[in-house]
Amino acid sequence: METPTIVTDDEFLDTFEAQKWPLDRWRHRDHIRLAYLYLTRLSFDEAADKIRAGIRAHNAAHGIPDAPTIGYHETMTIAWLRLVAAMLREYGPGEPGPTAALTFCDERPELSQKKVLRLFYSRRLMMSPEAKARFVEPDLTPLP
């Protein structure tokens, strides 16, 4: 299996925003990378708008339908954005460089654990149609 070529943060963002980031390379780490890039360049609300629109456009470009069990999930997206924002407030963005977002991800392995939202949300709430459609606050413990 061929190892994917590492691209700079700017190349990643340009490719993603053009809806050309390959679906087979679109992973959790890319979501965190995207959150980092928007949060270090924009206000939280602007970052939320960009990531929301970007993921929806990416899904549409790759034929991923927005259905009850697949597609864009508002609560997951905003909860992860809030966790990345909390890490940025606590530890800062790290050293600048062409792949600073990847370094940030590597230095914060807790963000690589997709299941971390289970600390905040019950499965019932996270999988609800309401949580998919709009952001809902956690029912187990507050987000930072």
> What is the mean predicted confidence (pLDDT) over 58-73?
94
Q: How much is the pLDDT for 68?
A: 86
pTM assigned to the model: 0.94
What is the spatial distance between Cα 100 and Cα 90, in angstroms, rounded to a whole number?
Answer: 16
Q: What is the pLDDT of residue 1?
A: 47
Do the beta carbons of residue 121 and residue 138 sit within 8 Å? Answer: yes
The phi, psi pair for 11, rounded to 5°, reads: -65, -45
Cβ atoms of 131 and 125 closer than 8 Å: yes
User: What does the mean pLDDT of the chain come to?
Assistant: 95
Q: Of all helices (H) and strands (E), which one includes residue 86?
A: helix 74-91
Q: Encode pLDDT of 20-48 as tens digits.
A: 999 999 999 999 999 999 999 999 999 99
Lowest mean pLDDT among 64-73, 84-93, 119-128: 64-73
Task: Give the residues across from 70 on adjacent strands.
Answer: 67
Q: Is the pLDDT of residue 2 over 60?
A: no
pLDDT tens digits, one per residue of 81-121: 999 999 999 999 999 999 999 999 999 999 999 999 999 99
What is the pLDDT, as a whole number, of residue 4?
A: 60
